[in-house]
Amino acid sequence: MNNLNKYLFLINPVAGNGSGLKFFRNFRDVILSNSGAKIILTEYPDHATEIIDREESNFTHIFVCGGDGTFNEAINGLKNFKTNIGLIPVGSGNDFIKNFPHISNLSVFLNDIFSDNLRISKCDIACVTLKDAGNNVKSRKFANSCGIGFDAYVAYLNQNNKKLKGKFSYIYSIFKALIKLKIFEIEALNAGKSFRHNVIFMAIGNGKTAGGGLYLTPDAQINDCFLNYTIIQGISRLNLIRHLPKAFNNKLKNYKDAIFGKFNEISIKLNHPYYVHADGECVSDNCIELKIQVLCNKLNFISN
């Protein structure tokens, strides 16, 4: 592969309430002044998946400029996973990138890119296969997090909020979801052992945080070939309001109604159809069964 097709910058202009477009305007000339660099802007939902599917084999390095949702779309377009992929965080939550050294200056980071002064780290991703109430089955890869229940319903509300953007939308969605708080039963099979709980939500994490900085799976490691889970058992709305903020301060492990564990493959059944998200994007509003498995060290991730 030659230098004429080395760097692809896949930019979501609406990421981070316009931060993606700002990045494009500020750094377009810098990027295109380097031989072998190309920019493609996404134009609609899942466009990043289509672009990666088409362009993956044409570049040695792909940089996704957006947030967790754009990065999720990108990895769902990967087929052979030989291409190195990075993330320039210009989204709202930016949880996946928190597992890597902080990018303090975008100009310096771009200079490091074009100087080949970056590291390639092997890291895990995961795949969730869902069956809905109509027995339809679909699969979705995710890089950072997956959730069943309350947090997935919050993701659904946030995704469909037309009035507010960014963290204001997420906070609004949390309070709206609290009004319709629902307790449901899960039955899970993990490494040959089954368990059953009445829960408000079950968070699955490859990374430590979700929802813009909530430490829902604080023991997760991005490259240990495991996914971590946190189950919040059925509690009152008041108790959830009192204790969920502990996740912002990474103190959720002090909460007696939280159950923690890890797996490399798990099967889960829900006693009634409910919401599931992958990397903050709602992937089902009527899921009844799901299987989640880690894809060990599948991703060649570019970091500084």
Q: Is the pLDDT of residue 1 over 50?
A: no
Q: What is the pLDDT of residue 271?
A: 96
Give percent above pLDDT 70 in the chain.
98
Q: List, for residues 211-262, the tens digit of each pLDDT value.
A: 888 999 999 999 999 999 999 998 788 888 888 888 889 999 888 889 999 9
What is the spatial distance between Cα 200 and Cα 8, in angstroms, rounded to a whole number? 41
Q: Look up residue 4 and give its DSSP letter.
A: G
Whether 164 and 238 map to the same domain: the answer is: yes
Number of H helices, E strands in the chain: 7, 13
CB 175 within 8 A of CB 144: no
Strands (E), 154-303: 184-190, 193-205, 227-233, 258-263, 265-278, 281-303
Q: Indicate whether 141 and 271 sit together in one domain.
A: yes
Any idea which of 19-23, 64-68, 114-118, 146-150 has the lowest mean pLDDT? 114-118
Rounded Cα distance between 11 and 91, Å, is 11
Confirm whether 173 is domain-assigned.
Answer: yes
**Looking at the domain assignment, is residue 302 inside a domain?**
no
Residue 210 has pLDDT above 50, yes or no: yes
The answer to the question of residue 240 being in a domain is yes
112 and 150 both lie in a single domain: no
In a domain, 301, yes or no: no
Q: What is the CATH number of the domain that holds 102?
A: 3.40.50.10330
Residues 278 and 216 both lie in one domain? yes
Boundary (domain end) residue, out of 61, 91, 117: 117
Number of domains in the chain: 2
Question: What is the rounded CA–CA span in Å between residue 74 and residue 196?
Answer: 34
Domain ends where: 90, 117, 144? 117
> What SS3 state is found at 217?
coil
Q: Residue 303 falls within a domain, yes or no?
A: no
CB atoms within 10 A of CB 27: 19
**Do 144 and 255 reside in the same domain of the chain?**
yes
To the nearest 10°, report the CA torsion of 245, 247, 250, 255. 90
Answer yes or no: is 160 within a domain. yes
Q: What contacts 146, CB < 8 A, 6 or more positions away?
A: 126, 128, 203, 204, 205, 276, 277, 278, 279, 292
Q: Do residues 247 and 209 share a domain?
A: yes
Q: For 100-149, how does the pLDDT look when each residue is reduced to its tens digit (9 = 90+)?
A: 988 889 999 999 999 888 899 999 999 999 999 999 999 999 999 999 99
- Cβ pair 58, 8 in contact under 8 A: yes
**What single-letter amino acid sits at 213?**
G
pLDDT on residue 161: 79
Mean pLDDT score of the chain: 92
pLDDT of residue 84 exceeding 60: yes
The answer to whether residue 281 is domain-embedded is yes
- Domain check: are 135 and 109 in the same one? no
Which residue type occupies 221? Q
Assess whether 266 and 242 both reside in one domain.
yes
CATH of the domain at 194: 2.60.200.40
Assess whether 235 and 275 both reside in one domain.
yes
Average pLDDT over residues 170-185: 88
What 3-state DSSP class applies to 255? coil
Q: Are residues 21 and 140 in the same domain?
A: no
Per-residue pLDDT at 18 exceeds 80: yes
Residue 3 pLDDT level (bands cut at 50, 70, 90): very low
Distance from C-alpha of 142 to C-alpha of 298, rounded to nearest angstrom? 12
Q: Please tell me which residue, 240 or 281, carries the higher pLDDT value.
A: 281
What gap in Å lies between CA 272 and CA 130, rounded to an integer?
A: 14
Question: Average of pLDDT values for 23-50?
Answer: 95
Choose one of 95, 117, 139: the last residue of a domain. 117
Q: Are residues 132 and 113 in the same domain?
A: no
85 with 19, same domain: the answer is yes
Amino acid at 197: H
Q: Which helix (H) or strand (E) holds 139?
A: strand 137-142
pLDDT interval class at 30 (50, 70, 90): very high
Residue 2 has pLDDT above 50, yes or no: no
User: What's phi and psi for 50, nearest 5 deg?
Assistant: -65, -40
Cβ contact 31:39 at 8 Å:
yes
Domain that holds residue 236: 125-296
Q: What is the DSSP string of 262-289?
A: EESEEEEEEEEEEEEEETTEEEEEEEEE
Residue 134 lies in a domain: yes
Confidence of residue 268 (pLDDT cuts 50, 70, 90): very high
